[in-house]
Amino acid sequence: MAAPAPPDQGPPPPAPSPRGRVRSGRLLILAVLVVVAVVLPAVALLDRREPATRLEPGTPPSSAPPAAQTYPPGTPAPALRLPGLDGGQVDLAALRGRPVVVNFWASWCDPCVREFPRLRQAARTHRADRLAVVGVLSGDTAAAARPFVRRLDATWPMALDPNTTAAAAWGAVGLPHTYFIRADGTLASHQLGELTQASLDRQLAQIL
């Protein structure tokens, strides 16, 4: 018995014409050009971005503050003339000829509280060296500072910098920030952050 004939599947699809192949090729090339035009500028833009600044572990926060760039050691200290906490003016220029410690602080700053006794003791210990300590109350109010000053027996002049204008001019990027100035009015060093007894003694030795 003969096998049944396979069902009729119709004629095979026509082969694409040369014109159709050319059109498909053109569309493919156009798509590739569009992708290249979009991707290449984006890659170039990523390459031009500035690398992120990163501090290595253990780098002190005061290693490169704005003050170190603007006022390096050996240059004259910036001007400082502000109203005083108890009236009058606090003028750094009036202390020329004496070694000076300028301490930017605020009553809400815990490290400031901890380092105040060290500053008080330094002022007493080096009275014969004519050491002057100047406090700059930065970003704080006189009303908040007065009881703080009385409680910690801080007898040195306190200047008022409520809008942090002086802090910005000096490059004080945080609190506390302390500057050590020689008798000739030039900067010897500065420290962002709490003064330990060792760091205070070391920097005082540079200006006394």
Q: How many CB atoms lie within 10 A of CB 49?
A: 7
* Higher-scoring residue by pLDDT: 27, 145: 145
Q: How would DSSP label each residue in the chain?
A: -PPPPPPP--SPPPPPPHHHHHHHHHHHHHHHHHHHHHHHHHHHHHHHSPPPP-PPTT--TTSS-HHHHHS-TTSBPPP-EEEBTTSSEEEGGGGTTS-EEEEEE-TT-HHHHHHHHHHHHHHHHTGGGT-EEEEEEESS-HHHHHHHHHHTT--S-EEEETT-HHHHHHT--SSSEEEEE-TTSBEEEEEESPPPHHHHHHHHTTT-
pLDDT above 50 for 58: no
- pLDDT, tens only, 74-85: 999 999 999 999
pLDDT band at 71 (very low <50, low <70, confident <90, very high): confident
Poorest-confidence range of 60-69, 85-94, 195-204? 60-69
> For residue 162, what pLDDT is reported?
96
pLDDT above 50 for 13: yes
Q: What is the mean pLDDT of the chain?
A: 79
> For residue 68, what pLDDT is reported?
39
> For residue 62, what pLDDT is reported?
38
> For residue 116, what pLDDT is reported?
95
- pLDDT, tens only, 27-57: 566 554 544 454 444 433 333 333 322 222 3
